[in-house]
Amino acid sequence: MTRSKRETERKYDAPSAEDTSWLPDLTEVDGIASVVEKGTDELDAVYWDTADLRLAGASATLRRRTGGADAGWHLKLPLSEDSREEIQAPLSDTVPEALHDLTLSRTRGAALRPVVRLRTTRDTRHLVDAEGTVLAELTLDRVHAEARPATTARAAWTEMEVELAEDTDPTLLDLVEETLRKHGIDRAGHASKLARALEGTGTAAPPRAHGRAEGVEPGSAADELLGYLDEQVNTLVNLDPAVRRGLPDSVHQMRVACRRLRSTLRSFRSVLAREHTDPIRDELKWLGGELGAERDQEVLVERLGARIDASPPELVLGPVAARLRGWHVARAAAARQRSLDALLSPRYPALLSALADLTRQPPLRPEAARGPEKVMAKAVLEEYARLAGRVAHALELSPGTDRDAALHQARKAAKKTRYATEPARGSLGRPARRLGKRVKAVQRLLGEHQDSVVAREALRNLALAAHAAGESAFTWGLLYGQEQAAAERCERELPAAWAHASKSGLREALAH
């Protein structure tokens, strides 16, 4: 069993932990009424990582710690500059399975092993307001580090941490830091104890999470494209623990990252060789499809539930809400398991490894060395041309299943066009943003239409099941009619939305 908390803290160099005469009076800080000493703890932590320090390179840490009030296994994942999420599990001799799984997107399946041991003597003080509420915790740490497996390499230092209590305004950190700086106390030069220990013991330096790929010219089309791809890969990696824990919207966001990556690799084949990227695109399609079942079920049940809630009570005949819940539970469990099975599949870490290799050692084509403006503009315009053809074809068809399918294909093309504008914003600027914004409006309209198509199929099946059970199918038919009307509205609004997105000036601006 695990539990999670958010920690927001800053680290500072500390001259000494024994003689604290250098520590300023922090009651000078607005809001802090007193500083309360809480005693000393002896902490013993062994940090685990892969042989090539993949966790540390991704700004994550995994440790087994004894001593103090929170002994156990701690996995820390980055959130922002000052904040991390700490996921805790009870003490055990080996890495808990739950935490091991949460590291997989960063380790890519490589084995975890001890890399360094830190023994810390910690003196703790609470920063308290006038009502006695703890605002933050200040700790002075005397740290002794040694490499694992054990060697003669050692390191020792003293540092100070200021960690906010839950619900404390983050601006308190700025106020405390201002006072510390006035007294000559600066931020620590390392983001974590682990990073300092690895360097101090000569174990290794964590690999950089970011950096220019091999053979890429600064300011080139490849440089701009790979920067975007790297962001999306990091998004995928960072979302993994949230998807495994079923956090809200995480499946949707991971699926979007898959689509962005897949679409971008397709749009920019002139920069990266497709014989290398097409197999990656196939695997991204697989992962997105496995996640799609869970996400599509979420969207559908929210949509139908909202329809039922908005219906007048006198028009809701029979156990409509109960039937929807039962239908959802049966389908959602299977969809959830499908997502988890995908993340536990050997295909998944293999995909992450392929993405890591792609961004570090990209298969560059001749166009990659050119300036980004023309390369990016050409790719965007090619995607737009495909979109224009799909929209024109759909609008020529009469309402019905063929048109529904054509509009769905147009929606996919709209996504590809919008995604193509995203890596181009750095070089093409406002014209790329404007086109992307207008195409997104078309995509949303087509998405609403497709959601209606899917909802009508589900409503028909629910109506048949209700009828077979001797229940009234009236309400299901009523909702079906509402979805039909929503689809017709989208089809009426599409020509105007497309005219707004297809103005020639939008495309001409990309070429200048």
pLDDT digits (tens, 9 = 90+) for 279-327: 999 999 999 999 999 999 999 999 999 999 999 999 999 999 999 999 9
Q: Report yes or no on 191 lying in a domain.
A: yes
Q: Report yes or no on 155 lying in a domain.
A: yes
Shared domain for 177 and 221, answered yes or no, is: no
Q: Report yes or no on 108 lying in a domain.
A: yes
| Residue 18 banded pLDDT, cuts 50, 70, 90 | confident
CA 155 – CA 151 distance, rounded (Å):
12
| Tally of domains within the chain | 3
Q: Using the 3D structure, point to which of 356, 386, 402 is the last residue of a domain.
A: 356
| Residue 52 banded pLDDT, cuts 50, 70, 90 | very high
Q: Report yes or no on 361 lying in a domain.
A: no
The candidate with the shortest Cα–Cα distance to 320, out of 453, 469, 457, 452, is 469
Q: Using the 3D structure, point to which of 326, 356, 386 is the last residue of a domain.
A: 356
CATH number at residue 145: 2.40.320.10
CA 182 – CA 363 distance, rounded (Å):
51
Q: Report yes or no on 205 lying in a domain.
A: no
| Residue 206 banded pLDDT, cuts 50, 70, 90 | low
Shared domain for 176 and 223, answered yes or no, is: no
Q: Report yes or no on 457 lying in a domain.
A: yes
| Phi/psi of residue 86, nearest 5 degrees | -110, 120
- Which tokens in the block code for residue 352? 């992450």
What DSSP designation does 208 have? P
Q: Using the 3D structure, point to which of 356, 389, 421 is the last residue of a domain.
A: 356
Shared domain for 162 and 232, answered yes or no, is: no
Whether 204 shows a pLDDT value over 80: the answer reads no
Q: Report yes or no on 366 lying in a domain.
A: no
What DSSP designation does 171 have? H
CATH number at residue 301: 1.20.120
The whole-number pLDDT of residue 208 equals 60
Could you read off the pLDDT of 429-469 as tens digits, one per residue?
Answer: 999 999 999 999 999 999 999 999 999 999 999 999 999 99
Could you read off the pLDDT of 326-364 as tens digits, one per residue?
Answer: 999 989 999 999 999 999 999 999 999 999 999 999 999
pLDDT, mean over the chain: 95
Shared domain for 9 and 155, answered yes or no, is: yes
The candidate with the shortest Cα–Cα distance to 107, out of 237, 17, 232, is 237
| Residue 16 banded pLDDT, cuts 50, 70, 90 | confident
Q: Report yes or no on 88 lying in a domain.
A: yes
The whole-number pLDDT of residue 15 equals 87
- By residue range, what is the domain housing residue 340? 210-356
Shared domain for 99 and 20, answered yes or no, is: yes
Could you read off the pLDDT of 149-193 as tens digits, one per residue?
Answer: 877 789 999 999 999 999 999 999 999 999 999 999 999 988 899
Half-sphere exposure of 153 (CA within 13 A, CB side): 18
Helix or strand holding residue 83 (H, E)? strand 83-89
Whether 207 shows a pLDDT value over 70: the answer reads no
CA–CA distance from 159 to each of 10, 13, 175, 187 (Å)? 11, 5, 19, 10
CA–CA distance from 406 to each of 293, 391, 397, 416 (Å)? 22, 8, 8, 16
